[in-house]
Amino acid sequence: MDVSLILDSLNKAQRDAVTTNVSALLVLAGAGSGKTRVLVHRIAWLIAVEGLAPHAIMAVTFTNKASKEMKHRIESLLGRSSGDMWIGTFHGLAHRLLRAHARDADLPDTFQILDSDDQLRVIKRVMKEMTIDENEWPAKQAMWFINQQKDEGRRPKDIRHQGDLFTSTYTNVYYQYQNACQVGGLVDFAELLFKAYELIRDKQHLRDHYQERFQHLLVDEFQDTNGIQYAWIKLLTSKSCKISIVGDDDQSIYGWRGAKIENIQKFENEYDDTKIIKLEQNYRSTGNILKAANAVIANNLERMGKNLWTDDNEGEPISVYAAFNEQEEARFIANQIKDWVEQGKSYSECAILYRSNAQSRVLEEFLLQRQIPYRIYGGLKFFERAEVKTTLAYVRLMYNRQDDAAFERVVNVPARALGPKSIAIIREKARENNTTLWQAAQVVAEEKLLTPKASQSLFNFLNLVHQCFEDFNDLPLSEQIQLTIEATSLDQLYAKEKGEKALARKENLAELANAAREFDSDDYPDLLPMTAFLAHASLEAGDNQAQQYEDCVQMMTLHSAKGLEFPLVFMAGMEEKLFPHMMSMDEPDKLEEERRLAYVGITRAMKKLYLIHTEKRRLYGKETYPRISRFIKEIPDSVKQDVRLNSQIEQPAFSQMGSQINGGDDSNQFRLGQTVAHPKFGNGVILNHEGDGSQARVQVNFDSVGAKWLMLAYARLEAV
């Protein structure tokens, strides 16, 4: 292969990163600096120039999207299939290992993956069986506790505590839950990683094999790795395997779900023969946007240090808009988008970013009103939808009768007179005989331990599952799915529902059969096609919206915006307590993570960035008078510009807005929404007023102290 093809399109730093020959390379890649490109070209370099065999390479990402993109780009650069390399997500590769060595991992060949929803159900059931009061000990918290322990590589026996009730209670739940999973052949997401780690750690023949096989490990988004992922990487690279990692400590925003920024910070000391290369040239944003981003992130203390720069010109200043309230915020954004489109540009170039999902509703209303097409990211994925999960639970149960989670999900759907009472009896039987629910149900049905009607019903259910599975024979996947939907009468159940929902459900089920038809099980030649499909459904929950190809405005949280870029970006709700969020303001570490989130948001913008905050916001049904976010204040004045309310050519948001407040004499004429200065409190915005003449009072939201009522006659306010 021609080396120039690999290197020509790269800048100096990128070229270094691609060609450097050390045992451990850290590429600190700023936002928009071409990190995926470096990763892909480095792999090409390793193969084409250093002569590494493709099967000796492993490349790990966090999301399916990233791994697909990497595969794709490698293939188009190398002009060959990437099939012999191990490229995938942490969970995908862990799954692959566990499938290949299920016995060694102490798992049945038929093991199933639990998604978070399934996991919570199982935990709830376990806790009920332990008669733990769910009001006092929320199952959600138990799940969080268990996953956190697993992310840190701790089994129940490894958890140290001095008898405090919290830890001991949840450790017990962990123990029982793990037991239930073992019996049912169930593996949750955290367990995939943990088990894959234990597998390599404890089975010497496998450790030797993989440590020898993999000669170069590449990891994307290293700042997001958690404890167990790190340990797994360390294990694989502890012999001769070289490692290249790419990441950006300034974009570490997932600390709250176990990611450890220290992993990237300490990398240099943890490995021998290391080299750090910084990619600081940004190809995405204008100079002003980068200045803003650099200035904000400079306020963080725990940084490895990096400064983005660009060859591009300064571009427009960043616009800061003080909206009166969230409706006006939404209206402003809608107007700007209209303007943008009228200039001949497209909706899909615009993104509205916010800190929390709750903010999307008002924004959505106004876009709808203005007939601006939009797409909201987040929400239920395809394979997470109730009807899809129920159908797949039937299939799971057919293929694996041990699967108690699946059994419970479907035993009374559609309703077949097997209510809580009947199920309790089955569960009791299962505990008594120490069997699965399926086996217990058989006993219960045979011995007719339920009411005659329920017994018959249970018998029919067992038969149904059994018979349907028999009928599968060697039918193609999609026909197995179709058969399941019909045999279980799920189609009729959903047809009975009223209105739009029924239609959506019907479509989703049709789409499920379709997904099965298109599914390619070649990645797992040793697995039954359906087993592979079920794993695929859990590991790649799919997209969440249908009309994604339409030209529409992109709305999403700041978190989901990571990795994306848009010519026009709005960051809404730039207010203290909302962003930085109230829950993350008190601890320095959490605040720094919020600031990194702001950095991520700012660096999404290519051409133009708007920061919007409100003077007044309804939050949980209460009026609040938020102060402007510190992150706006951290941006130097030289690159930002206030959008003046009175220069807006539009109808006022409220009839009273813009109306004169009569303060008695001509020197005291103010409007709602106007910015004023007070000798003691500094600048603020007029929110409200009451009374006339010498009794006139105004409410002003001050940047320094928040909202205050002042007597207009005494307050010595000046227009700004």
370 tagged catalytic: no
**Angstrom distance (rounded) from CA 94 to CA 100:** 10
Give least dist CB 328 to DNA, A: 17
User: Contact, 418 vs 427, CB < 8 A?
Assistant: no
403 tagged catalytic: no
Give least dist CB 500 to DNA, A: 15
DSSP state of 317: P
Give the C-alpha distances (Å, rounded to integers) separating 245 from 71, 224, 242: 17, 11, 10
Given the complex with DNA, which of 47 and 363 has the nearer CB atom? 363
716 tagged catalytic: no
Angle at 506 between CA 423 and CA 547, to 5 degrees: 125
Given the complex with DNA, which of 282 and 557 has the nearer CB atom? 557
**Angstrom distance (rounded) from CA 282 to CA 277:** 15
**Angstrom distance (rounded) from CA 408 to CA 631:** 48
Which residue in 220, 248, 593, 594 is the catalytic one? 220
Give least dist CB 518 to DNA, A: 19
**Which residue, 79, 125, 110, 287, is CA-closest to 186?**
110
**Angstrom distance (rounded) from CA 108 to CA 111:** 5
Given the complex with DNA, which of 479 and 511 has the nearer CB atom? 511
Please give the helix or strand (H or E) that residue 166 lies within, else none.
helix 165-184
Which residue in 14, 15, 35, 349 is the catalytic one? 35
Given the complex with DNA, which of 55 and 618 has the nearer CB atom? 618
Give least dist CB 256 to DNA, A: 4
Give least dist CB 135 to DNA, A: 8
Q: Which two tokens stand for residue 480?
A: 């197995």
DSSP state of 706: E
Residue 689 DSSP SS3: strand
409 tagged catalytic: no
Give least dist CB 456 to DNA, A: 12
**Angstrom distance (rounded) from CA 25 to CA 32:** 20
Give least dist CB 247 to DNA, A: 16
Residue 49 DSSP SS3: coil
Angle at 426 between CA 422 and CA 431, to 5 degrees: 145
Which residue in 151, 198, 221, 329 is the catalytic one? 221
User: Contact, 218 vs 17, CB < 8 A?
Assistant: no
Which residue in 36, 110, 148, 211 is the catalytic one? 36
Given the complex with DNA, which of 42 and 617 has the nearer CB atom? 617
Given the complex with DNA, which of 61 and 442 has the nearer CB atom? 61
Strand segments, DSSP code E, in 583-681 are: 605-614, 617-619, 622-624, 640-643, 660-662, 669-671, 675-678
Give least dist CB 572 to DNA, A: 13
Q: Which residues contact 188 (CB under 8 A, 6 or more apart)?
A: 113, 114, 115, 116, 118, 119, 147, 150, 181
Which residue in 14, 61, 251, 390 is the catalytic one? 251
251 tagged catalytic: yes
Given the complex with DNA, which of 575 and 594 has the nearer CB atom? 594
3-state helix, strand, coil in the chain (%, to 5): 50, 15, 35
Q: Binding residues for DNA, per CB under 7 A?
A: 62-65, 89, 91-92, 115-116, 124, 134, 189-190, 256-257, 355-358, 377-378, 415-419, 539-541, 556-557, 559-560, 581, 583-584, 590, 594, 618, 620-621
35 tagged catalytic: yes
Q: Which residues contact 94 (CB under 8 A, 6 or more apart)?
A: 192, 193, 195, 196, 197, 232
Given the complex with DNA, which of 7 and 591 has the nearer CB atom? 591
Which residues are catalytically annotated?
Answer: 35-36, 220-221, 251, 604
